[in-house]
Amino acid sequence: MRLLILSLGLAICAACQSPNPHSTMNSVDTPAAAPASFETYWASLQDDMMAIPNGRQEALLELSSFVRRQLAEHDTAELIFICTHNSRRSHLGQIWAQIAADQLGIQGVKTYSGGTEATAFNARAVESLMRAYVNVEPPNFISENPPYRIHLPSGKGSFECWSKTYDDAANPNGGFGAIMTCSEADAACPNVSGAQFRLSLPYVDPKVSDGTGAEDSTYDARCRQIAAEMRWAFEQIKH
């Protein structure tokens, strides 16, 4: 029901998105200053990037190396972000990786997402992106699994996000990097057919806060953590 209400509400105001006054939270759930635009949100990620632990950086460097190698050899790098339901973390990974590549001028990167089963792009995750000033265009129809169009902040393009399995026809079937964003999907998929590279990069599921007073802050924290880590990983490609 919340998903249907969100789709209707966003459809009414999509053409006139105004800054959301809600505060964002950083990856350790401590208060961060509320940005006034996407540009200030993007700039504010610097502090979060500096706080990424060394062990996490090592994993992110594997992602950077794969993308760099693919671009050098094929002029394109495709990534599928995978979690169980393709409803929260995998979508955030796909979206922030594509935004990071675009913001940093890294051409040839194409990101996708999928799950071991399809459900819906969770409304709470969509709202967290909007609080980060990502331009999310909702569909103009009601569906249990609606597609949301994400417009790149640069204005150079857009892409659709909806819940699907990782082997859906909309995703590449070979030569891609599989980024496992949850331990459950990592364990359930010992082999991701067609993947040239596989990386375990799990995130705590913000679903743990659903229905509590910490809901918005938890989703904002996860959104911000993924944004900072994708920006850090893609910045390494240029070094």
**pLDDT, tens digit, 9 for 90 and up, residues 44-68:** 999 999 999 999 999 999 999 999 9
Confidence (pLDDT) at 23: 33
| 28 inside domain | no
Q: How far apart are CA 194 and CA 148, in angstroms?
A: 26
Question: In which band, very low, low, confident or very high, does the pLDDT at 30 lie, cut at 50, 70 and 90?
Answer: very low
Confidence (pLDDT) at 238: 84
- Total number of domains constituting the chain: 1
* Domain housing 117: 2-11+36-237
pLDDT at 178 > cutoff 90:
yes
| 18 inside domain | no
| 99 inside domain | yes
| 21 inside domain | no
More confident residue, 181 or 13: 181
pLDDT at 198 > cutoff 70:
yes
Q: What's the whole-model pTM score?
A: 0.86
User: Tens of pLDDT along 74-86?
Assistant: 999 999 999 999 9
What letters, b where the CB count within 10 A reaches 16 and e where it falls short, cover 19-39? eeeeebbbbebeebebbeebe
Confidence (pLDDT) at 33: 55
Region 165-193 average pLDDT: 89
Confidence (pLDDT) at 184: 80
Question: In which band, very low, low, confident or very high, does the pLDDT at 12 lie, cut at 50, 70 and 90?
Answer: very low
Residues facing 177 on adjacent strands: 79, 197
| 19 inside domain | no
Q: What are the DSSP E strand ranges found in 147-233?
A: 148-151, 158-161, 176-180, 195-200
| 76 inside domain | yes
Q: What is the CATH number of the domain that holds 105?
A: 3.40.50.2300
